[in-house]
Amino acid sequence: MATQTLDRPLATSVNRGPKRAAEWARRAPLLPALVFTIIITQLPFVATLIISFLRWNALDPSNQGFAGLGNYIAVATDDALRSSVVSTVILTVAVVVVSLLLGLGLALLLDQRFRGRGFVRTMLIAPFLVVPVAAALLWKHVLYNPEYGLLNGALTWIWGLFGGTAPPQPDWISTMPKIAVEAALVWQWTPFMMLILLAGLQSRPFDAIEAARMDGATPWQIFRYLTLPHLRQYLELGGLLGSIYIVQNFDAVFTITSGGLGTANLPYTIYQTFFQAHDYGQASAAGVIVVIASIVIATFALRVVSSLLRNEVKS
């Protein structure tokens, strides 16, 4: 599909010439968007970088100045921040891996032919279309509530079926806070993974699979040697896009546990340092560290996306 676009710059560079006006005419439609994006998305990071070297606490205005690497040292030795780094990694990896696996399973199921497939697909997408704050509230109050939440209600009901009188009624959020947040996020992100993987499954080369089947390959062999290699790119794409969004998750942590019980991740901790502790310098240093970590992840992500672009060109 992108073949033509890749060819076009070559074709045009032949008659490039010294016509600067023509070049600017070509650039003109791009400039508003580019300038807007640079100003609003890049300048704040430059400001964050500068503030990260300052001693600046809004609650202590008399004590301001250049801090050198002081904020970075404070960040590196701050237990709360260090534990939020660990929480962020655990939360992101757990949610991405589990929702990718569930998404793969569901995509394989949806790839089969059965009655009501369109309707099942619609049901499976539903979690992703609930506003994230609403979804987090739903899990917190309606599902996890220890007294009359749906989970404990279901336990009572199931126990009742078998004549049990004392069903377990765990307080989900306080006994397993991390799993509680992760489960809510997995529920929301599995449909996202499923949609991307389903698109991958449906773009499989049908003839190769048919040929393999003719040659007597088992369904497992077809999955292992044809489907999975084809899906690799889509798994990577889903994993990386998911990581980018979930590393930044704020809504679920804020709503379900308010960052308590060891669930505070970096976005939440930075938010708190900014807007409750008002330590602008230290929060900015933490922000810079998160940006650097994101750039590392982003480099891999961009490589995957560009390989996907190139493959589109080849096919």
Partner 1 sequence: MTRKAWRPWGLFAWLAGILFALPVLWMVLTSFHSESDAATNPPSLLAPLTLSGYEEFFGAGSGASPWPPLINSASASIGSTVIVLLLAIPAAYALSIKPVRKWSDVLFFFLSTKMLPVVAGTLPIYLFAQFSGLLDNISFLTILYTSMNLPIAVWLMRSFLAEVPVEMLEAAQLDGAGLVTTLRRVVAPVAMPGIAATSLICFIFSWNELLFARVLTGVVAGTAPVFLTSFVTSQGLFLAKVCAAATVISLPVLAAGFAAQDKLVQGLSLGAVK
Q: Which of residues 13-32 bind partner 1 (CB under 8 A)?
A: 13, 23, 26-30, 32
Query: Torsion over CA of 149, 150, 151 and 152, rounded to 10 degrees?
Result: 60
Min dist. Cβ of residue 85 to partner 1 (A): 13
Binding segment toward partner 1, per CB under 8 A, in 38-46, 62-70, 75-83, 221-229: 38-46
Contact status: 224 vs partner 1 (CB under 8 A): no
x-or-dash pattern for partner 1, window 260-299, by CB under 8 A? ------xx--xx--xx----x--xx--xx-xx--xx-xx-
Stretch that binds partner 1, among 70-78, 89-97, 173-181, 242-250 (CB under 8 A): 242-250
Contact code string over 143-182 relative to partner 1, x by CB under 8 A: x-x-xxxx-xxx-xx--x----------------------
Q: By CB under 8 A, tell whether 195 contacts partner 1.
A: yes
Helix (H, G, I), strand (E, B) or coil at 65: strand
Q: 59 vs 126, which CB is nearer to partner 1? A: 126
Separation CA 101–CA 107 (nearest Å): 10
* Contact indicator for 170, 152 with CB cutoff of 8 Å: yes
Cα 234 from Cα 219, distance rounded (Å) = 20
Task: Kindly state the number of chain residues that form the binding site for partner 1, as judged by CB under 8 A.
Answer: 117
For the CB of residue 179, give the shortest distance to partner 1 in the complex, in Å.
16
Query: Which positions from 70 to 109 touch partner 1 by CB under 8 A, shown as an x/- string?
Result: -----------------------------------xx--x
Identity of residue 279? D
Applying CB under 8 A, which of residues 84, 91, 140, 172 lies at the interface with partner 1? 140
Is 218 in a helix, a strand, or coil?
coil
Hey, is 145 helix, strand or coil?
A: coil
User: How many Å apart are CA 152 and CA 142, to the nearest integer?
Assistant: 10
Question: For the chain, percent helix, then strand, then coil, each to nearest 5?
Answer: 75, 0, 25
Sequence-distant (6+) residues with CB within 8 A of 261 are 173, 174, 177, 178
